[in-house]
Amino acid sequence: MFCKNCGEQLNDNQAICVKCGVKVGDGNAFCANCGKEIDPNATVCMNCGVAVKKAGAGDLAGHDKIVMILVALFLGGWGVHNFMMGETKKGIVKILTTFLLCGIGWILALVDLIKIAMGKYVVDPEKYI
């Protein structure tokens, strides 16, 4: 494992890089897998082929924030915004809770809408809620 900020080799137990002082996992100048310098906007390391960007808070799987807010507002109870972001499990849960539990899916969609608007929504295709 390598520091993504300076490229220094790290051991698995380190919390920060002793060379540059940055928290392990922070930075975007070097590949964490091979330690080679990468383009800060790259999604894949051209040296080793490993994905260098992961979805984080505020990243809506490439969709525009305003569009996702509108979709969550008008179609959220049916999980449409979740399906758009690749969160199939969450979308199915929203459909089921909307039909079987008297519209609770709309409450879950409202929570998603607020998170999207605040930039706190994290796309995670493996989660159910």
Distance, CA of 112 to CA of 68 (rounded, Å): 10
Distance, CA of 12 to CA of 97 (rounded, Å): 42
Chain segment 1-43, per-residue pLDDT in tens: 899 899 999 998 889 999 999 998 888 889 988 989 998 777 7
pTM for this predicted structure: 0.59
% of residues, the chain, pLDDT over 70: 95
Distance, CA of 111 to CA of 34 (rounded, Å): 39
Chain segment 60-73, per-residue pLDDT in tens: 888 899 999 999 99
Task: Provide the mean pLDDT of the chain.
Answer: 88
Q: Which amino acid is at 40?
A: P
